[in-house]
Structure 1
Amino acid sequence: MKAKVSWQQGLSFLGETDSGKSIIMDGNGEAITPMESVLLSVGSCSSIDVVDILKKSRLDVHSCFCELEAQRAESAPRVFTKIHAHYVVAGDKLTDKHVARAVQLSAEKYCSVMLMLAGNVEITTSYAIA
């Protein structure tokens, strides 16, 4: 995997991946900030796992979203100290056992973004079945 980040103007940068995708990031809040992109990456990576695990269990998932809340260090570097991910999943015949297992497997085994942060960031999860 390769990527390139190019300065545009001010504190705005264009990130481009070798797969041809791009994103604008900005240090002044004009676009998504790099830390916001990390937080969104936690939620999207783990949500992909949750949906995939449930579908592989032959369950019908109608929707899934992940609400994220993070705390950052007070002084520089302002790293994340805590992240909480709350999943809300809807579908046919979903049980607490199914969703709890999917969330746990994602957090502990499959989500590369969460696992990359583990040991440096306190990550907690919860879920609800809608």
Structure 2
Amino acid sequence: MSAKTTVKWTKRMSFEADLDGHKIIIDADPSVGGENKGPKPKPLMLVALAGCTGMDVVSMLTKMRVELEDFSIDVEANLTTEHPKYFDAFTIVYTFKGKDLPMAKLEKAVNLSQERYCGVSDMYRKFASIDHKIVVVE
């Protein structure tokens, strides 16, 4: 399987991406000629990471019969200061909400995602460190 997208310049610093029939507007900050019509390209990497690992975790916890009330993933990335600027470290915070959530199963699902299943994490580890933390709220 492969992936493909077409990204078309619309005007100024704005582009429209067509990804599997979904339209995504990408733009730059007004300070560099953009109009802030959509996210900048690099921060979309955080969305890809959170989405990939989040889908893994939900799938595994469903198979483990863990019932969540809510689940969110926060990702922070450190941007280097010299050009070309890139993310050299990511921190993922998995926040689970529910009653009597089994920490061992949460840890197992997160660790399996990070160590075995999440292809985005695997790719990013080639140029950055990835740390994670699990938070449980009731």
- Asked if these proteins are the same fold (TM beyond 0.5), I'd say yes
Which bracket does the TM-score occupy, shorter chain normalised? over 0.9
Offset, 1:52: 1.1
> Quick one: which of 103, 116, 133 aligns to 1:126?
133
**Stretches of 4+ aligned residues off by more than 2 angstroms:** none
| 1:20 aligns to 2:21 (yes or no) | yes
**What SS does the aligned partner of 1:84 have?**
strand
Point out where structure 2 has 5 or more consecutive residues left out of the alignment.
31-35
Return the TM-score normalized by structure 2: 0.88
User: Which residue matches 1:76?
Assistant: 83
Identity of aligned residues (%): 27
* 8 Å contact from structure 1 (residues 14, 24) kept in 2: yes
Secondary structure at the residue paired with 2:42? Answer: helix
Q: TM-score w.r.t. structure 1 length?
A: 0.93
* Cα-Cα RMSD: 1.3
Structure 1: which amino acid aligns with 2:118?
A: C
Whether 2:46 is the aligned partner of 1:39: answer: yes
Residues in 1 aligned to 2:11 and 2:74: alpha-carbon distance in whole angstroms: 32
How many residues end up aligned between the 2 structures?
129
Q: Deviations over 1:61-95 (max 9, x none)?
A: 22110111110110111110100000001234421
